[in-house]
Amino acid sequence: MSETTNNTNNNQNLALDDGRRVKVLSPGMMVFKRFIRNRLAIAGICILAFMFAFSFLGGIISPYRQDQVFYKYDYANKEYAGAVVNTEFRYLTRDGKELPATTRAKFTLAAKNGDPSFEAGGTTYSVVKVDEGFFRIGTSQQLGNVTALGKIVDVKPIGGATISDELKKEAIAAVQGGKNTFELDGVSYTLTAGKAKSYTLAGSEDIALASMLSFDAYSAEYAELVNNFDFRLLSETAMHAGETSFELDGVTYTLDIESETTATISVGEGDAKTPVANVSNVIVNPVNNGVFLPMDYKAAVTDAIAAHESSFEYVNAEGVTEKHTIQISVNNYVIYTEQKTMLIDMYAAPSGAHWLGTDDHGMDVMTRLMYGGRISLLMGFVVVFLELLIGIVIGGVSGYFGGWVDTLLMRFVDLFNSIPYYPMMIIAGALMDAFEVNPYTRIFMLMGIMGIMGWTGIARTVRGQILSLREQDFMVATEATGIRISRRIFRHLVPNVMPLLIVQATMSLGGIILTEATLSFLGLGIKYPLASWGTIINSASNIYVMSNFWFIWIPAGVLIVLTVLGFNFVGDGLRDAFDPKMKR
């Protein structure tokens, strides 16, 4: 009792049994002194203080929200462009002329069969095959009849057509020379032999070109030129003929033929040589709208495809060399390149911005640990409070009254105690899942269920203590003074059980945190977007996460262990402090 002696500041000599010399501590103070002398209990208090600060203050200090998702920019190999080897005819019509779709279909048929002419929409078209995959389509028009009698050749126009003298001369020359076709001013004329030395003269003007190749202008200034009918006609004819230059409107264009299907058309000589157009049978298009593919890029693609390469390098407008890879499927080529993309920052390693990295949802692990701690700790306290409430009432009533009330209530406790815990929780979790309980409501329901499943131990303790306490003299006194029964139980009996209850409650706090973590780990407890320490570790049930991202699950586990350890240390210390005889 007289552990503390105080003899400083005293000049008088005090006798050993002087009342002033002995300082008697109150029972509460004694408990406190014994408690703080226990090193483990102090360690436990420190751990718990840290946990509370971490969870409740940490959540305020943390710059992030618990469900804030982080994004990052990263380079991902994505589809950039598509290329197709052209197997369809592409048409270019002369200005002011038209080639309707039905006519195009008829032409395709004629080209396939090798017919020199076909009819569509009441008009006869002539087909001139320049080379494989390049046709000139013209409209033929009967101009007149040519009759030849000996050396006299007469040309008569039909249907109001006008035949110029020049044409007449040429036609006569052709008949005399035995030719079937001749050309004049870019229009070709045919002579079809009729009966007995008479011919039908038909003029055919090219109105369209059908080609398998596509022409792309290198720059906007040449766009018009490239779509010019004559330019196309001349360049492609030259290309098919294997010539390296052609002339149009007094300008000489040179052709660099790379293969049968690819060529570059340029103007000028030497250093002044500028590319005008690229010719290819490959059509290159961007995958995404709004992306402009520069001509030299397209040329690089077509070259790579022509050379059967699977990747090529391209120097972009900023002068950066990009690596592009080509994947082939039948006639389609897909070109991939590394592009800057916005991604959810998943499994980011610990860094200055995220001290413990980010989890599988791209959320900050540290922040989630803080908010998770709030839930885990709150859960522990609320559940213990519920358990105490139910346990004290039932245990108190049972212990005070005894007899059949006691038997009935204790059998009820036995029954409750024997219900297997985890099967019950699994079923409860499945029920909450099925009714799609809101995550916030779910926490309260979980607290309720855990409280209801766990009060029996406290009820037993209370009953056991009250059974012996109620026989003591102070209870006879309460009875004699006529205090009502509820007051006798809860004001006079229960406070005497309190030390024991405090110890038991502290110890079971740790147990509840463990149980809640286990339930959350099994997916029965707290649900996304809320977190508890158990749910955070749950991500480690994925082997990939477990083996590669220790920073997601190990801190949560350490926090659980430390918290439970803290509660156990404190509980142990309290027990020793309350009852020194029982000391460990």
Partner 1 sequence: MWKFIVRRISLALVIILCGSFIIYGVMRCMPTSFVEGLARQRAAASATTGGASYEEWLEKLNEAYHMNDDVFTGFANWLGNVLKGDFGESWKYGMSVTEKFNDVIWYSVVLNVVTLILQVAICIPLGIQAARHQYSGFDYGITVFAMLCISLPTFFLATVLKYVFAVKLGWFDLYGIVGRYYEQLDGWGKAMDMLKHMVLPTLTLTMLNIGGLTRYTRTNMLEVLNADYIRTARAKGLSEKVVINRHAFRNTLIPLVSYMSYLVPSLFSGSMITETLYQIPGIGYIAYDAMVAGDLPFTMFYSVFGLVLTQISLMLADIMYAVVDPRVRVN
Distance CA 371, CA 1 (A): 46
Which residue's CB is nearer to partner 1, number 22 or number 445? 445
Which residue's CB is nearer to partner 1, number 342 or number 424? 424
CB of 423 to partner 1, least distance (A): 6
Which residue's CB is nearer to partner 1, number 102 or number 548? 548
| Contact call for residue 46 and partner 1 (CB under 8 A) | no
The answer to whether the beta carbons of residues 368 and 359 sit under 8 Å apart is yes
The answer to whether the beta carbons of residues 466 and 492 sit under 8 Å apart is no
Handedness of CA 100, 106, 110, 111 (dihedral sign): positive
Distance CA 427, CA 431 (A): 6
Upper half-sphere CA count for residue 282 (Cβ side, 13 Å): 28
Q: Which range of residues in 97-105, 198-206, 363-371, 566-574 is near partner 1 by CB under 8 A?
A: 566-574
Which residue's CB is nearer to partner 1, number 286 or number 511? 511
CB of 458 to partner 1, least distance (A): 18
| Contact call for residue 569 and partner 1 (CB under 8 A) | yes
| Contact call for residue 435 and partner 1 (CB under 8 A) | yes
Write down the H helix ranges in 75-164: 101-113
Phi, psi of 121 (to 5 degrees): 60, 35
- Binding mask of the shown chain, residues 272 to 311, with x at each position contacting partner 1 by CB under 8 A: ----------------------------------------
- The DSSP-derived string for 285-299 is EESSTT----HHHHH
| Contact call for residue 572 and partner 1 (CB under 8 A) | yes
Distance CA 321, CA 300 (A): 13
Among 211, 553, 575, 576, binds partner 1 (CB under 8 A): 553
Among 40, 163, 212, 445, binds partner 1 (CB under 8 A): 40
- The DSSP-derived string for 182-241 is EEETTEEEEEEE-STTEEEEEEEEEEEEEES-EEEESSGGGHHHHT-HHHHHHHHHHHHH
Residue 101: CB partners within 8 Å, gap ≥ 6?
none
Among 411, 474, 479, 485, binds partner 1 (CB under 8 A): 411
Q: Which range of residues in 254-262, 323-331, 391-399, 432-440 is near partner 1 by CB under 8 A?
A: 432-440
Which residue's CB is nearer to partner 1, number 305 or number 410? 410
Which residue's CB is nearer to partner 1, number 144 or number 395? 395
| Contact call for residue 561 and partner 1 (CB under 8 A) | yes
Residue 10: CB partners within 8 Å, gap ≥ 6?
none
Q: Which range of residues in 69-77, 128-136, 349-357, 565-573 is near partner 1 by CB under 8 A?
A: 565-573
Q: Which range of residues in 106-114, 259-267, 294-302, 419-427 is near partner 1 by CB under 8 A?
A: 419-427
Distance CA 539, CA 522 (A): 11
CB of 477 to partner 1, least distance (A): 27
CB of 49 to partner 1, least distance (A): 17
The answer to whether the beta carbons of residues 281 and 212 sit under 8 Å apart is yes
Query: Residue 7: what residue type?
Result: N
Among 356, 526, 564, 570, binds partner 1 (CB under 8 A): 564
Which residue's CB is nearer to partner 1, number 102 or number 441? 441
Q: Which range of residues in 56-64, 294-302, 355-363, 562-570 is near partner 1 by CB under 8 A?
A: 562-570
How many residues bind to partner 1 according to rule CB under 8 A? 44
CB of 345 to partner 1, least distance (A): 24
CB of 33 to partner 1, least distance (A): 18
Chain-centroid distance of CA 195 in Å reads 78
Nearest Cα to Cα of residue 502 among 568, 584, 571, 583: 571
| Contact call for residue 372 and partner 1 (CB under 8 A) | no
| Contact call for residue 577 and partner 1 (CB under 8 A) | no
- Binding mask of the shown chain, residues 494 to 513, with x at each position contacting partner 1 by CB under 8 A: ----------------x---
Which residue's CB is nearer to partner 1, number 46 or number 342? 46
CB count in 10 Å sphere of residue 391 = 26
**From residue 65, how far is each of 371, 491, 531 by CA, in Å?**
9, 45, 12
Which residue's CB is nearer to partner 1, number 301 or number 453? 453
| Contact call for residue 31 and partner 1 (CB under 8 A) | no
CB of 30 to partner 1, least distance (A): 20
Q: Which range of residues in 128-136, 225-233, 318-326, 433-441 is near partner 1 by CB under 8 A?
A: 433-441
- The DSSP-derived string for 67-98 is TPBPEEEEEEEEEEEEEEE--S-EEEEPTT--
Distance CA 480, CA 410 (A): 29
Nearest Cα to Cα of residue 167 among 195, 149, 139, 190: 190
| Contact call for residue 544 and partner 1 (CB under 8 A) | no
CB of 365 to partner 1, least distance (A): 16
Chain-centroid distance of CA 207 in Å reads 53
Strands, sheet with 251-257, edge to edge from the N-terminal-most edge strand: 214-217, 274-280, 263-267, 251-257, 245-248
The answer to whether the beta carbons of residues 150 and 134 sit under 8 Å apart is no
Which residue's CB is nearer to partner 1, number 191 or number 505? 505
Distance CA 259, CA 23 (A): 111
Residues 209-248 that bind partner 1 (CB under 8 A): none
| Contact call for residue 546 and partner 1 (CB under 8 A) | yes
| Contact call for residue 437 and partner 1 (CB under 8 A) | no
| Contact call for residue 518 and partner 1 (CB under 8 A) | yes
Question: What is the radius of gyration, based on Cα positions, of the chain?
Answer: 49
Q: List contacts with partner 1 (CB under 8 A).
A: 39-40, 411, 414-415, 417-420, 422-424, 426-427, 430-431, 433-435, 510, 514, 517-518, 521-522, 534, 537, 540-541, 543, 546-547, 550, 553-554, 557, 560-561, 564-565, 568-569, 572, 584
